[in-house]
């Protein structure tokens, strides 16, 4: 991984990579994940190159893109950050001159395991790390029971990063169910929220698109939810259907369940247009209620 200082990175943005308010092309990679970690990473890097060739400037990977999803896999596939997987992502970001929001991977830190997202700049630097805040502990009788907390620890902070074009709020999967988190990001100036996730065949059809569009419309931001491709033979079967919603709540890009790249051209000016048309930020009754805040 190439190192650079915060000052060097900010100077680089100011000298030419920081764009105007027009926007950028976003690529969402719905990756087929196998039990072969090295092959998963290699394939992710190949898709990143393909997306860059299609003029994408920001590329997003799915949750647990280098590992099968499940408590029985997290310990085996976990690695430190930085590590082999994040080194490969940083190299891909540098070689393809793109930002990469690297889905998530099982992270080992001391005696604890986390479900962790990293973001890499085109300079090959890790610019953000988000540990999943809300762990996926559910029990739907007769359908699915899963407890991430059996193996994983929760993160204890909310995370934004500057991708040159705009500020981005980061979450992982179950984090999208918590509206307060998204509202906090919007108040911090984020115009794009990114949720790598792996909803299942019970929660996916019911809530995956609903939650993505809701978080977008209520905060008047772009929201993308990026899933692994569906593998019916996996121990945990992901729903797929990666998608992105615009600030009006309209789906502007969507996959089926198969491995593919979803592209969307992000118009940052449209965020301002929607907020001007329906000015809910100015219309809040903060004399009656308060907005979400986060511990600093």
Q: Output the pLDDT for position 17.
A: 46
What is the rounded CA–CA span in Å between residue 65 and residue 116? 11
Q: Output the pLDDT for position 136.
A: 82
Q: Output the pLDDT for position 253.
A: 98
The tens digit of pLDDT for each residue in 119-164 reads 999 999 999 999 999 998 878 888 878 789 899 999 999 999 999 9
0.85 exceeded by the pTM? Answer: yes
Note if the bond before 82 is cis, omega within 30 degrees.
yes
The tens digit of pLDDT for each residue in 3-30 reads 555 565 554 454 444 444 579 999 999 9
What is the rounded CA–CA span in Å between residue 83 and residue 155? 19
Q: Output the pLDDT for position 31.
A: 98
Q: Across the 296 residues of the chain, what is the mean pLDDT of every consecutive 10-residue run?
A: 53 47 90 98 98 98 96 95 98 98 97 97 98 88 84 96 96 96 95 97 97 98 98 96 98 98 98 96 89 66
Q: Output the pLDDT for position 10.
A: 56
CA distances from 56 to 65, 78, 90, 91, 157 (A): 19, 29, 16, 17, 29
Active site (catalytic) residues? 63, 132, 173
Contact 119, 100 (CB under 8 A): yes
Which of 35, 95, 23, 55 minimizes the C-alpha distance to 268? 23
Q: Output the pLDDT for position 139.
A: 83
Phi and psi angles of residue 95, each rounded to the nearest 5 degrees, phi first: -70, -30
């Amino acid at each position: 991984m190439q190192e650079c200082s915060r000052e060097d990175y900010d100077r680089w943005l100011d000298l030419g990579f920081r764009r105007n308010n027009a926007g950028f092309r976003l690529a969402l990679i719905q990756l087929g994940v196998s039990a072969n970690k090295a092959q998963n990473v290699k394939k992710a890097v190949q898709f990143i190159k393909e997306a860059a060739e299609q003029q994408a400037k920001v590329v997003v990977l799915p949750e647990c893109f280098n590992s099968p999803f499940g408590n029985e896999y997290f310990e085996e596939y976990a690695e430190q950050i930085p590590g082999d997987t994040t080194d490969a992502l940083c190299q891909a970001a540098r070689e393809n001159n793109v930002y990469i929001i690297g889905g998530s991977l099982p992270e080992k830190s001391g005696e604890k395991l986390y479900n962790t997202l990293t973001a890499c700049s085109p300079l090959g630097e890790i610019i953000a790390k988000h540990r999943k805040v809300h762990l996926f502990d559910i029990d739907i009788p007769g359908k699915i029971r899963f407890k991430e907390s059996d193996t994983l620890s929760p993160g204890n902070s909310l995370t934004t990063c500057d991708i040159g074009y705009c500020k981005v709020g980061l979450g992982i999967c179950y984090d999208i169910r918590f509206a307060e988190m998204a509202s906090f990001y919007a108040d911090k100036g984020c115009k794009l929220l990114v949720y790598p996730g792996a909803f299942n065949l019970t929660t996916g059809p019911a809530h995956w698109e609903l939650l993505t569009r809701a978080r977008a419309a209520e905060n008047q931001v772009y929201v993308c939810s990026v899933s692994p491709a569906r593998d019916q033979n996996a121990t945990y079967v992901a729903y797929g259907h990666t998608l992105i919603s615009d600030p009006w709540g309209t789906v502007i890009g969507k996959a089926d369940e198969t491995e593919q790249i979803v592209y969307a051209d992000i118009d940052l000016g449209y965020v301002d247009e929607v907020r001007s048309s329906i000015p809910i930020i100015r219309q809040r009754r903060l004399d009656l209620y308060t907005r979400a805040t986060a511990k600093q």
